């Protein structure tokens, strides 16, 4: 499950009857489907943690390394 930082409000619908609202500024561990849809919509950026207790940092999409 990837880490993302939401840059804008994003409503994720895992099922037709379910909506999960994510707010801009939140840094969360979400499902791969949610991350892919939010990033494709331009409402999130991928984050990465270097260790279990490390803070997530933004990932440079071109090479997958921390920015």
Give tens-digit pLDDT for 5-55.
999 999 999 999 999 999 999 999 999 999 999 999 999 999 988 888 888
Name the β-bridge partners of 67: none
Q: Which contiguous run of DSSP H or E holds residue 36? A: helix 32-40
Task: Give residue 65's pLDDT.
Answer: 55
Question: N- to C-terminal Cα distance for the chain?
Answer: 20
Model confidence at 64: pLDDT above 70:
no
């Amino acid at each position: 499950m990837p880490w993302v930082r939401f840059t804008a409000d994003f409503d994720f619908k895992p099922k037709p009857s379910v909506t999960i609202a994510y707010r801009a500024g939140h840094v969360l561990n979400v499902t791969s489907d949610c991350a892919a849809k939010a990033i494709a919509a331009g409402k999130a950026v991928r984050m990465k943690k270097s260790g279990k207790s490390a803070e997530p940092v933004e990932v440079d999409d071109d090479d997958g390394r921390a920015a």
